[in-house]
Amino acid sequence: VLSLSFFPLGYLHETFKVKLLVLLLALTAAVFLKSDLTDWLWLQDQNSCACGKRLSKDNLRALHRLNHSVEPFLTVNTNLSEEHMQHEQRDFSYYKSTVHKLFELLPPVADHGEPSSDSCRTCAVVGNSANLKGSRYGIYKNCPSIPFRMNAAPTKNYESDLGTKTTHRVMYPESTVDLDNSTLLVLFPFKINDLQWVIKAITTGFYGRSYVPIKFKIKANKDLVMVVNTGFMRYVHEIWLKKKGDYPSTGFMALILALQICDEVSVFGYGADDDGNWSHYFETLKSKNFKTGPHPGKHEYAIIDELAQNKTIRLYEW
C-alpha cells in the first residue's frame, strides 16, 4: 500500500477535484433519471422544435406513394367522383347537392397554409394507443406548431403524457367532441350522412341516425372546419395500404394527411401495447386480444415503421 506522502500535494488536489466532479455528475444524472429524463433531454436540444426539413425529396421519392396532386381537402372546386362514399345508396346528384350545401356554410377553400421556403410547419400526430401511458411525452407534444389529435380522445388528466395543445381535431360524426373556438375540426366523411351531419350539427341540430348515437349539436367554429376529400381517403386505402382491410383507420389517414401538409412530422401513440392489444390509453381493456377490427392495424404500423426508418417521420415509441 502506497502512503499518501508518495503523491505530490498538487496531484492529490487534482485527483480530489476529478472525483468530486464525477460524483456530482452521477448525482445529477440520478436526479434527472428519477424525475423526468425526457424533459431534460428536450431542454438540452434547443432545436427540438425547429424544423429539420425531414420530408426531403429523396425520402419521399423513395417511398413512391406520396402524391401531392391528390387534393387532401374538399373545396368548392373539387372535381367530385361518382366513387364517392362507402356503401352509399343515394345517387351522385344527391351527393353533389349535399356538397353544394356544405360550402354555403363553410369557407370555399380549406386554409392549411401554403408551403414556403422560409417557414416550417412542424406537426405532431398523436394517436390513442395505450402505449402512451407513462410515456411523459407531454412536453414534446406542446412544442410542434400543429398537434393533431384523434376523435374524442381526452387530454384532461393525461397532460404529462399527451400535452394540452390541440390545433387539429380529427374525427367523424360517431367520434365527435366539442371544440374551442380556435381548434380546427378535420372531418373524415365516410358517407353522405357525415356531410349532412357537419352542416346541421354546427347550426340547427342534426336528427339523423347511425350505428351509435351521434351528437345532436357540436361546439365548433364553422370557419375552422376542414372536410377531407373522399378521393384522398380512397388514395390512402389504394396506394398506401394496397386495399388491405376494409378501410384505413382514422389515425393512419391523419398521418398521411400530415405528410401532405407539414414539413416535419412527429408521431406518438401508435401501435399495440406490450401485450399485443390495440387498446386506447383512456380506456380499461375488458377483453384480451383486442384488435383493430376492419382496419389493417399491423400493416399500417409496418408502413409507419418504414417511414421512421427512412427518416420521413420521427416515431416516438414507448
Of 137, 247, 281, 301, which is the active-site residue? 247
Mean pLDDT of all residues in 192-206: 94
Query: Do 223 and 90 have their domain in common?
Result: yes
Query: Are residues 182 and 281 located together in one domain of the fold?
Result: yes
Residues 10 and 131 in one domain: no
Regarding whether 146 and 291 lie in a shared domain, the answer is yes
283 band by pLDDT with thresholds 50, 70 and 90: confident
Are 1 and 134 in a shared domain?
no
Whether 41 is covered by a domain: the verdict is: no
Q: Answer yes or no: is 55 within a domain.
A: yes
Most confident range, picked from 32-46, 99-113, 244-258, 287-301: 244-258
Regarding whether 250 and 123 lie in a shared domain, the answer is: yes
Q: Indicate if 96 and 232 belong to the same structural domain.
A: yes
Judgement on whether residues 219 and 98 belong to the same structural domain of the protein = yes
Poorest-pLDDT segment among 35-39, 111-115, 117-121: 35-39
**pLDDT score, position 31:** 41
Same domain for 142 and 3: no
Residue 40 lies in a domain: no
Selected catalytic residue, list 84, 168, 237, 295:
295
CATH number of the domain enclosing 160 = 3.90.1480.20
* Residue among 255, 226, 231, 237 nearest 75 (CA): 226
Respond yes or no: is residue 247 known to be catalytic. Answer: yes
| 235 among known catalytic residues | no
Q: What pLDDT is recorded for position 109?
A: 81
The count of structural domains within the chain is 2
Domain containing 31 equals: 1-35
Domain annotation covers residue 256: yes
**Claim to verify: residue 177 and residue 305 sit in the same structural domain:** yes
4 and 142 inside one domain: no
Q: pTM of the predicted model, to two decimals?
A: 0.77
Q: Are residues 60 and 26 in the same domain?
A: no
